[in-house]
């Protein structure tokens, strides 16, 4: 099997211009990826990856439109997309990748916080051939760098990175993710100091410890909330 070269970047969402702008990091190659990409094209790219990792066939472009609208939604703004795409030798078209990882970053109060905090969603491994290492560690590292080096300059009250996992997903086992994300520094916590009926919540602290952890098997007591459409639990089948 020939070696795969990964090109990786964060794409900063600029809704007023309807484009996303590439942010590179010195640890990772990025030159094959476009410096700017339209939000429609970026949505189509992410949707094409989710055909594999989420088994979403994007019928009538419904998933592409959902992702595009997510880029424009307020007040829970999607501010960036992380991409790490793997290529065989001599490839010049960035869409001809043979492996890939992606995730979105949104800023949200989740009806609990006084200030918006970053949440990762849509975490996806689009594995198109066997034998290569996952690019998801690159995705997680770039997200940390983006938040601590870039996003924290725009949002002064960021105290960590958050995610949620469905307790009863249509596919997969949430316990897989609850064991997986601690490898990247995440710990479970109680959002609003209540046990949620539908979701597990996790946080990675930036310079501050969690004050409230929950036991995985604790009985749920909170009122059911509207189901989120982009839970990170979808990653179960694609790690």
* Residue 81 C-alpha from the chain's centroid: 7
Name the least confident of 51-65, 69-83, 196-210, 224-238: 224-238
For position 218, what pLDDT does the model report?
Answer: 41
Residue with the bigger pLDDT between 132 and 77: it is 77
For position 231, what pLDDT does the model report?
Answer: 55
Residue 30: domain span: 5-238
Mean pLDDT of the chain: 87
Phi, psi angles (nearest 5°) of residue 230: -135, 45
pLDDT in tens, 112-169: 999 999 999 999 999 877 767 899 999 999 999 999 999 999 998 999 999 999 999 8
SS3 (DSSP) at 234:
helix
215 pLDDT band (50/70/90 cuts)? very low
For position 130, what pLDDT does the model report?
Answer: 75
Give percent above pLDDT 70 in the chain: 85
239 pLDDT band (50/70/90 cuts)? low
- Whether 76 and 108 have beta carbons less than 8 Å apart is answered as yes
Helix and strand counts by DSSP (H, E) for the chain: 5, 9
pLDDT in tens, 97-112: 999 999 999 999 999 9
Q: For 33-59, what is the mean pLDDT?
A: 95
For position 233, what pLDDT does the model report?
Answer: 45
* Residue 50 C-alpha from the chain's centroid: 12
- Whether 235 and 53 have beta carbons less than 8 Å apart is answered as yes
d(CA 161, CA 144): 8
Residue 190: pLDDT over 90: yes
Residue 21: pLDDT over 50: yes
For position 219, what pLDDT does the model report?
Answer: 39
d(CA 212, CA 197): 17
**Tally of domains in the chain:** 1
Write the CATH number for 131.
3.40.630.30
């Amino acid at each position: 099997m020939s070696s795969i070269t990964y090109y990786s970047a964060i794409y900063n969402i600029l809704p007023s211009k309807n484009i996303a702008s590439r942010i590179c990091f010195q640890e990772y190659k990025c030159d094959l990826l476009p410096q700017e990409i339209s939000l429609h094209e970026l949505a189509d790219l992410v949707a094409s990856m989710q055909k594999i990792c989420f088994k979403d066939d994007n019928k009538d472009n419904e998933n592409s439109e959902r992702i595009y609208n997510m880029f424009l939604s307020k007040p829970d703004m999607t501010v960036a997309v992380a991409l790490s795409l793997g290529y065989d030798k001599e490839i010049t078209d960035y869409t001809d990748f043979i492996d890939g990882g992606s995730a979105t970053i949104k800023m949200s109060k989740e009806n609990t916080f006084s200030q918006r905090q970053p949440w990762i969603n849509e975490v996806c491994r689009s594995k198109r051939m066997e034998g290569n290492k996952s690019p998801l560690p690159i995705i997680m590292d770039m997200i940390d760098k983006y938040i601590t080096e870039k996003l924290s300059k725009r949002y002064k009250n960021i105290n960590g990175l958050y995610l949620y996992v469905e307790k009863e997903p249509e596919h997969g086992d949430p316990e897989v993710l609850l064991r997986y994300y601690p490898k990247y520094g995440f710990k479970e916590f109680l959002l609003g100091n209540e046990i949620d009926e539908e979701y597990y919540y996790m946080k990675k602290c930036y310079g501050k410890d969690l004050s409230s952890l929950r036991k995985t098997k604790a009985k749920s007591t909170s009122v059911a909330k509207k189901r989120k459409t982009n839970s990170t639990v979808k990653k179960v089948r694609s790690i």
